Amino acid sequence: MPPPTTPTRCALILSFVDRRLMMFAPLDWSPRMKMNARSVGAILAVALFSGSGLSACGTAASPAPEVAAPPLDQSRPPSEVVEVVESHAREGFEHTGGVLKRTGIVVADAGGQRLEPGEFGRARSIEALFAEGEHSFRLALNYSAAESEGDPERICDVGVADGAYVSCEAEKVEGLTKFVKVMALLPPEEVYIREPLVIARPDRLKEHDGLVWYRRSVQFVDPENSRIVSASEVFPANSVDAAMKEMRMSITELTNMASDPDLAMDVTE
């Protein structure tokens, strides 16, 4: 059998890179971050395996398209924006029962890099993380033009079909799109992945014997302002039904947090 042509090799390599990204990309990577990772991964793979150099695959070598992200409203100091997210998270999660502990405030730029307090003016995402016993809670505010677009029903259908979501519901609420999602998570198998939990695909779940971390989230997407607010809870259990019974935050409570008008902070072009 003759060896595959360069276009065929390129297609196979890109397909491999895409599958690996689907399996192991951290949950909160934006489409832009995935596109950048795809380009870098494909370039390295082509250079390594095809022996044809970086120009062997035009698709792989071409830079990922830029996705414009609106800055945080500068009329409000960035540090104040972070404080608002943290205070609303604490207020929303503090009634869950035991002793609520703050486990982190994560502020990142458009590329997912964590920012120091003096750099908060470049923030594209803010996450307030809390925990109580085995329950983990998160309130997140981020700005992403790419993630705020797309047909909501198709997003749910595709996510459930490929195993990214255990369940997903979408509806329109006063010009916004509301998602209620459930995900199954497990610790990553690869040591180079720094995320503590990643999406567990159905094939891995079938082979897994033990606890699975289930995340239930309510997400409000404002496409006009490229703004996404989400509130979520994670709990480990032997089944999704068992996890849902143990959740401290109801869907109504998560909805109230994610739809809080105080978090609908204006953005400027």
Could you report the per-residue pLDDT of 47-69, keeping only the tens digit for each?
444 444 434 444 333 444 434 44
Residue 94 CA to residue 214 CA, distance in Å, equals: 20
Position 4: which residue type?
A: P
Q: Enumerate residue ranges in the chain where pLDDT < 50.
A: 1, 3-36, 38-40, 42-71, 73-74, 266-269
Specify the pLDDT at position 194: 67
Cα-based distances in Å from 83 to 53, 70, 148: 49, 20, 24
| The pLDDT of residue 192 | 67
Cα(81)–Cα(73) distance, integer angstroms: 9
Two structure tokens written together for 60: 């792989």
pLDDT at 40: 44
How much is the pLDDT for 191? 64
**pLDDT on residue 88:** 95
Residue with tokens 């950048």: 36
pLDDT of residue 34: 46
| pLDDT given for residue 189 in this prediction | 81
155 and 180 in contact (C-beta within 8 Å)? no
Q: What's the pTM value of the predicted model, to 2 decimals?
A: 0.71
